[in-house]
């Protein structure tokens, strides 16, 4: 049971697309928080299968009203699903979790403690790791929090989506024209607009699949780098970064692309490696 007298003022938004095999674990990791959130919003992104029924059945296993299920009429991608959940959020803070990821039990307790100590923080994230499903190490109870300077976002995305807690009243949303790195664009808009961002120096959530699947790996990399270029151009167009900052970020992106191509080539060259 969720003790409503000992909860975090957080709405958790979980976009779902044909997630029947993983969503129960994701929600269980929310419910097992030492400081559980007050609201969970599961958004079915027009899966077209039995996902909506599965989400309602899952919601019925928890206290009435704690989980809200939204079914979108058309598939709009993660940005649209997260925005729909954001619009239904009732709490001062919003956290994001993908349907195939999980949280460590102390995730929200640690982040909310940091927010109590520094209420000016608009966005707070933490580290994540790839782990086998069910393989979860002991959850830390204390952690250092560092303010992230805006120049850090010129290098790459330091805020994994499933790690982020942000203020609900921020005047930004996920850009629904983007289906890749849409999160990086939003974090950039927040940070480069002068809002205070922070990161907890502990692993408090887990991916249960690699960042790029084995199939179509090179195509994934090409698409991700193309989307990264579009994000950098958009931040420049909005006047949130200067031209020198844009050029610096572009050069870093080119170096990262070359490194990833090299690593991909090495993996393919290994016996039994990628095709």
pLDDT in tens, 194-253: 999 999 999 999 998 765 443 334 446 677 677 788 889 999 999 999 999 999 888 887
- Write down the pLDDT at residue 250: 86
- Write down the pLDDT at residue 173: 97
d(CA 271, CA 241): 44
CB 83 within 8 A of CB 170: no
- Write down the pLDDT at residue 217: 41
CB 145 within 8 A of CB 165: no
Residue spans of the chain under pLDDT 50 = 1, 212-219
Following CA atoms 75, 212, 42, 1 in sequence, which dihedral angle do they give, to the nearest 10 degrees?
Answer: 170
- Write down the pLDDT at residue 180: 78
Cα–Cα nearest to 164, from 54, 52, 10: 10
Q: Which pairing describes strands 145-147 and 196-207: parallel, antiparallel, or unpaired?
A: antiparallel
Query: Which alpha helices (DSSP H) does the chain contain, by range?
Result: 23-31, 51-59, 77-88, 107-117, 182-192, 217-237, 243-269
């Amino acid at each position: 049971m969720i003790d409503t007298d000992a909860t975090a003022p957080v709405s958790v938004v979980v976009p779902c697309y044909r997630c029947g095999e993983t969503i129960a674990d994701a929600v269980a990791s929310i419910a097992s928080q030492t400081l559980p959130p007050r609201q969970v919003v599961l958004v079915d992104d027009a899966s077209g299968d039995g996902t909506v029924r599965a989400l309602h059945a899952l919601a019925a296993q928890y206290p009435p009203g704690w989980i809200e299920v939204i079914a979108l009429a058309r598939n709009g991608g993660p940005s649209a699903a997260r925005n729909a959940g954001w619009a239904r959020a009732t709490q001062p803070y919003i956290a994001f979790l993908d349907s195939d990821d999980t949280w460590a039990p102390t995730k929200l307790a640690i982040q909310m403690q940091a927010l109590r100590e520094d209420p000016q923080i608009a966005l707070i994230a933490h580290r994540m790791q790839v782990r086998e499903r069910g393989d979860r190490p002991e959850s830390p109870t204390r952690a250092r929090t560092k303010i992230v300077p805006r120049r850090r976002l010129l290098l790459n995305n330091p805020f994994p989506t499933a790690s982020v807690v942000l203020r609900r009243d921020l005047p930004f949303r996920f850009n629904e024209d983007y289906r890749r790195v849409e999160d990086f664009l939003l974090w950039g808009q927040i940070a480069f607009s002068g809002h205070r961002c922070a990161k907890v120096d502990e692993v408090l959530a887990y991916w249960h699949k690699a960042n790029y699947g084995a199939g179509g790996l090179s195509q994934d990399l090409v698409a991700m780098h193309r989307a990264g270029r579009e994000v950098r151009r958009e931040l420049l167009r909005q006047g949130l970064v200067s031209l020198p900052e844009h050029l610096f970020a572009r050069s870093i992106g080119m170096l990262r692309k070359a490194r990833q191509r090299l690593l991909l080539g090495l993996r393919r060259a290994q016996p039994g490696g990628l095709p």
